[in-house]
Amino acid sequence: MSLLEVRDLTISFGSKKVVDCISFTLEKGARIGLIGESGSGKSMTSLAIMGLLPDTATISGSITFEGQELIGLSDREHSRLRGNRIGMVFQEPLTALNPLMRIGKQIAGPLMIHKGSSLKEGLKKALELCTKVGLPDPDRILRAYPHQLSGGQRQRIGLAIALACEPALLIADEPTTALDVTVQREVLNLINALVDKEGSSLIFVTHDLPVVSAMTENVAVMQLGKIVENASVASLFHEPAHEYSRRLISAARLAEDSFSGKGGQL
Amino acid sequence: MRKAMKGNVSLIAGSIMVSITFALLILSFIWTPYDPLAVNPEDSFAGVSMRHILGADKIGRDILSQIIVGSRVTLFVAALAVTVAMTLGVSAGILIAVASRRYQSPMIYAVNIALAFPAALLAIILAAVYGASTITAVTAIGLATAAAVAQVTRRTAHGILASDYVLAAHASGASTWRIIRKHVMPNLRASLLIQASAAVSVSVLAESSLSYLGLGTPPPAPSWGRMLAGSQQYLFVNPLLAIWPGIAIVIVVLGFNLVGDGVREVFDPTLRRSDS
Ligand SMILES: Nc1ncnc2c1ncn2[C@@H]1O[C@H](COP(=O)(O)OP(=O)(O)O)[C@@H](O)[C@H]1O
Ligand SMILES: [Mg+2]
């Protein structure tokens, strides 16, 4: 049985289909990249799996996770999976953290919700998690507020929150888009290392082909809500089947050329 | 607190005015120059003098003593009314903000109707049924102010609920109740403080108007609104009689308004960043 099976998933707002009959499967421990330009429906796909679509959206098709159908699941039951079996990292590491809550409490949150930890136990675990995501001086970090940390540090916190309950699936929705290139590299390496170590599956969402090539072997290319190509990263680079994929690659080459003068990131 | 005060003119001026009012309230239990209700026919319309610092009214009651004791009714009614308004308004506002879309619009509609309903009208109805009293005044002012609080709270809570960090909290599996407690309430705090101070101003003004109209605390307990009403007949002969309670009302209303403004400045997110 696959860990996650998405069949004919369709999401619309009124008559506008933003995700159009997409299907993919993800085995336990496997990774998939979702790539496509902004507005192609990547985030809506991620949110559908989390059960967090805006309530104006209508959804059809099927999403099974660990053998359980998620579409039509009550919010209460869905929330038992969120942050527990499925973790999610968001694009904006600043706005995804509560500005008035200390970091320690925010990391302890999922543990208190799902594992019945007390605040004290949660904070103790948060300390370990901080070290795990490579944050120096975790004692200070736990007492800090989000605005006192750098973008890269915040995204590491986001990762610590998402991985707190050791989820079977991690969804990272453009986790490095808001970061500087050098920090981007560090966070990607961290995600790689942690997902390997925990044996989680990964859905990595991005609009950036070089980024996805550093993260996953297989990618699904999305355009206007449809998956237009499903391929390994290597074959996508060498023989892109779809016109849109070819455009993504030439855009990536262009970016690489303009970077190479400065030492070529990624 | 000292840091918050620095350079914050509104907060400083407001705090001073609010302190004056509370000083009057405390003083009213300790000392007044005269018994505020003592009638002294020979002092009728006594002017400002050493004997009566702020003068005396028609039947010779000392104005200063009445102003001091009048602070009790004003602040008591305002405190109760604001408690009612904040409790009802904040719960209703949050409830509406988290309600599913189907129930949201009728509830917003109900709040808008309540908003259009002035405190005075409500007070007249309540007074007609139960007789004018402190309780009817508190109820009328509290309910009318609650509608305004509910409206602002709903809007602010709506913005918080649409934020990324609430989405992220949902993604961590947090329940609606947990999100209200851990995310909505703390982030509402600044707005609630501002609303509470504005609500005090509104309530003081409303209490004075109701007393002025004879819909508040009944005589003989002195109240600033009723002092104002009583002085109106003699406005041209003896304008000072109207000016003293007028000044008292202005100080409280302005004081709490300024504190609200000052608090807004303290919590302004563009100023907050700098404390890291
Ligand atoms: N609440 C909403 N109401 C209507 N349309 C929406 C809403 N949220 C997103 N959309 C639309 O859905 C489409 C896909 O959005 P999204 O999945 O966020 O794209 P991306 O691939 O950039 O993550 C976009 O065209 C966007 O305008
Ligand atoms: Mg997106």
Domain segments of chain A as ranges: 4-260
On chain A, the residues whose CB falls within 8 A of the CB of B163 are: 95
CA distance, residue A242 to nearest chain B CA (Å): 34
B274 close contact with A: CB closer than 8 A: no
Report which of B17, B63, B71 is spatially closest to residue B38, judged by C-alpha positions. Answer: B63
Q: Which residues contact B264 (CB under 8 A, 6 or more apart)?
A: B190, B194
Please list the ranges in chain B whose pLDDT falls under 70. Answer: 1-4, 268-276
- The CATH H-level (homologous superfamily) assignment of domain A4-260 is P-loop containing nucleotide triphosphate hydrolases (3.40.50.300)
- Inform me whether the pLDDT recorded for A264 exceeds 50: no
> So what's the pLDDT on residue B217?
82
> So what's the pLDDT on residue A151?
92
> So what's the pLDDT on residue B132?
87
CA distance, residue A97 to nearest chain B CA (Å): 5
Nearest to B171 among A50, A101, A114 (CB): A50
- Inform me whether the pLDDT recorded for A258 exceeds 70: no
pLDDT tens for each residue of B45-56: 777 777 777 777
Q: Please answer whether residues A165 and A117 qualify as being in contact, where contact means their C-beta atoms are separated by less than 8 angstroms.
A: no
Calculate mean pLDDT across residues A180-193.
92
- Interchain proximity B174–A55, CB inside 8 Å: no
pTM of the complete model: 0.86
> So what's the pLDDT on residue A31?
95
Calculate mean pLDDT across residues A199-217.
91
Interface test with A, best of B102, B105, B158, B165 (most A CBs within 10 A): B165
- Inform me whether the pLDDT recorded for A246 exceeds 70: yes
For ligand 2, an ion, list residues with CB under 5 A: A 43
Nearest to B165 among A81, A97, A105 (CB): A97
Rounded distance from Cα A38 to ligand 1 centre (Å): 9
Calculate mean pLDDT across residues A6-24.
96
A58 close contact with B: CB closer than 8 A: no
- Interchain proximity A100–B187, CB inside 8 Å: yes
Range picked from A24-28, A211-215, A242-246, B259-263 for highest mean pLDDT: A24-28
CA distance, residue A74 to nearest chain B CA (Å): 12
**Number of residues that this document lists for chain A:** 266
A111 close contact with B: CB closer than 8 A: no
- Interchain proximity A55–B101, CB inside 8 Å: yes
- Interchain proximity B187–A98, CB inside 8 Å: yes
B168 close contact with A: CB closer than 8 A: yes
Calculate mean pLDDT across residues A66-75.
95
- Inform me whether the pLDDT recorded for A259 exceeds 60: no
Q: Please answer whether residues A211 and A266 qualify as being in contact, where contact means their C-beta atoms are separated by less than 8 angstroms.
A: yes
Q: Which atom of ligand 1 is nearest the CA belonging to A40?
A: 21
pLDDT tens for each residue of A232-241: 888 887 877 7
Complex ipTM: 0.91
Q: A212 or B276: whose pLDDT is higher?
A: A212
Q: Looking at chain B from residue 213 to 272, which residues have their Cβ under 8 Å from any Cβ of chain A?
A: 269, 272
A59: tokens are 């959804």
Q: Which domains does chain B have, with CATH numbers?
A: 8-238+248-267 (1.10.3720.10)
pLDDT band of A210, cuts 50, 70, 90: confident
H-state helical runs in chain A: 42-50, 75-81, 103-114, 119-132, 138-143, 151-163, 181-198, 209-215, 233-238, 243-260
Q: Please answer whether residues A220 and A33 qualify as being in contact, where contact means their C-beta atoms are separated by less than 8 angstroms.
A: yes
> So what's the pLDDT on residue B271?
54
B182 close contact with A: CB closer than 8 A: yes
pLDDT tens for each residue of A75-118: 999 999 999 999 999 999 889 999 999 999 999 999 999 999 99
> So what's the pLDDT on residue A237?
78
Handedness of CA A97, A99, A104, A109 (dihedral sign): negative
pLDDT tens for each residue of A24-53: 999 999 999 999 989 999 999 999 999 999
Q: Which residues have C-beta atoms less than 6 Å from ligand 1? A: A 13, 18, 36, 38-44, 54, 56
Which residue is associated with the tokens 């109106």?
B232
- Interchain proximity A147–B276, CB inside 8 Å: yes
B164 close contact with A: CB closer than 8 A: yes
Query: What's the Cα-to-Cα distance from B107 to each of A200, B85, B100, B104, B155, rounded to whole Å?
Result: 45, 17, 11, 5, 13
